[in-house]
Amino acid sequence: MVEVLRSSKQVAVCCHVAPDGDAFGSMLGLGRALEQQGKKVWMSWGSPALTVPYSYGFLPGVEKTVTYDQIPEQVETFVATDCADKKRLELLTSRFDNAGTSINIDHHLSNSRYADINLVDPERASSCELAYELITRLGVPIDPEIATCLYTGVVTDTGRFQYSNTVPDTFRVAAELRELGADHLIVAARVYESASLEQLRILGQVLGRARLQDGVVYSWLDTKDLGDQGLDAAEDIIDLLRTVREARITLLLKEQPDGGWKGSLRSRGGGDVSEVAKSFGGGGHAAAAGFSVTGKLEEVIKEVLERLAALRS
């Protein structure tokens, strides 16, 4: 992989649609490192238009991202970061398939090793840790901007080092990135302390309709709840739902603009929720997973709760 990237003159570095902190961080960190080696780099994700949430708008290099159609149909090397399933590249899938060499950098247990070269390690808490290792092996000096991108992914995918995926090496990587100049203050301020008043209103609606059933706390978000806000405004709501002490599993359903529901699952000793996500065509980790499903809200809730009950029995 190192030699392929060293010899490549043109590289697309892309993450999954609806990027989170780890997707943005690994894409931008690796993309900037490859640019420093004098390569032509495209950074993107497979949505028709790119919308960057306010929480991640501070990340160095995010202003250089381009829409999917600005990437050549047959790029020399295509790197997918934090993308457990090739389908999550969506509009970029054909460019990934047509690339001279495809590379897959990811930490999800459900990853199917779909590329020519796969750097997949489910023991890592984040894809940014793998990107950090790769950049180091490439011999690229990690400046504060790269360090900040990578640190963002480590912090967000561990829930500020609170999730069970946090191991001693996670802290070591975070410490090394901080020593390299990662701006931990701006990461904390923008990701965790920058909610708008409208986001708090949305949060109130979701918490107000929350229900607890057999150790599962669940709630939902309708498109009309969002007003003029995008779905990004609801990204962190599940982290508050999961604090309910009576619940071992958390479920949040978010209505999609084009129909259907996006489900997010979290587990605190309630079983491997990635198994339930995979049963709906999704995936993720034992403690955090996601999926998409169609149907009426009541029927979707009933079906998901039944599968969660079977998981625990």
Contacts of 300 (CB under 8 A, 6+ apart): 253, 261, 263, 293
φ, ψ at 44 (rounded to 5°): -165, 180
Structural domains present in the chain: 2-192 (3.90.1640.10), 197-312 (3.10.310.30)
pLDDT tens across the length of the chain (313 residues) = 999 999 999 999 999 998 999 999 999 999 999 999 999 999 999 999 999 999 999 999 999 999 999 999 999 999 999 999 999 999 999 999 999 999 999 999 889 999 999 999 999 999 999 999 999 999 999 999 999 999 999 999 999 998 889 999 999 999 999 999 999 999 999 999 988 888 888 889 999 999 999 999 999 998 888 776 666 656 678 888 989 999 999 999 999 887 899 999 999 888 899 999 999 988 888 888 889 999 999 999 999 999 999 886 5
Secondary structure (H, E, C), 66-101: CCHHHCCCCCCEEEEECCCCHHHHHHHHHHHHHCCE
What H or E segment, with its residue span, contains residue 119?
strand 117-120
Q: What pTM was estimated for this model as a whole?
A: 0.87
Place of tokens 């990237």: 5
| CA gap 262, 14 in Å, rounded | 22
Q: To 10 degrees, what angle do helices 144-157 and 168-179 make? A: 150
Name residue 212's beta-bridge partners: 217
Contacts of 159 (CB under 8 A, 6+ apart): 239
Residue type, 128: C
Query: Cα–Cα distance between 90 and 48 in angstroms, integer?
Result: 10
Distances (CA, A) of 308 to 156, 240, 280: 25, 20, 12
Residue 245 CB neighbour total at 10 angstroms: 6
- For 312, the enclosing helix (H) or strand (E) is helix 297-312
Interatomic CA distance for residues 147 and 10, integer angstroms: 23
* Residue pair 29/149 in contact by the 8 Å Cβ criterion: yes
Q: Position of tokens 């609606």?
A: 205
